[in-house]
C-alpha cells in the first residue's frame, strides 16, 4: 500500500465492488490510475484513498479470495 505518493485521480473511473450490498452500507470503489490501483469508501469519496501497486493489489485480492482476512 502506498500512502505517501500523490497520484492523479481527477479523471479516474471509479467502479463499485460487486460485493457491495444493495443497502449501500459497506461500499468500496476501485479505480486504476496509471500503474496504481486506488481504493476508496464510496460513502466518503472525498476522504482518504488507499493506493496499491499492481503486484500489491493482486496479492491482496488473492488473499481476500482465499479468506485470509476472515475472522
- pLDDT tens, 37-68? 999 988 888 898 999 999 999 999 999 899 99
Residue 4's region, left for phi above 0, alpha for psi from -120 to 50, else beta, is alpha
Res 43: pLDDT: 86
Q: Which residues contact 30 (CB under 8 A, 6 or more apart)?
A: 14, 15, 17, 37, 38, 39
pTM exceeds 0.95 = no
- pLDDT tens, 1-44? 545 456 788 888 999 877 666 666 678 899 998 889 999 988 88
Res 57: pLDDT: 94
Residue 67's region, left for phi above 0, alpha for psi from -120 to 50, else beta, is left
Nearest-5° angle of CA 24, CA 61, CA 45? 35
Say how far apart CA 71 and CA 68 lie, in whole Å. 9
Q: For the chain, which residues make up each domain, given as ranges?
A: 1-16+25-71
Amino acid at each position: 500500500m502506498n500512502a505517501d505518493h500523490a497520484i492523479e485521480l481527477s479523471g479516474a473511473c471509479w467502479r463499485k465492488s460487486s460485493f457491495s450490498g444493495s443497502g449501500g452500507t459497506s461500499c468500496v470503489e476501485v479505480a486504476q490510475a496509471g500503474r496504481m490501483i486506488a481504493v476508496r469508501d464510496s460513502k466518503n469519496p472525498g476522504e482518504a484513498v488507499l493506493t496499491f501497486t499492481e503486484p500489491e493489489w493482486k496479492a491482496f485480492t488473492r488473499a481476500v479470495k482465499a479468506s485470509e482476512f476472515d475472522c
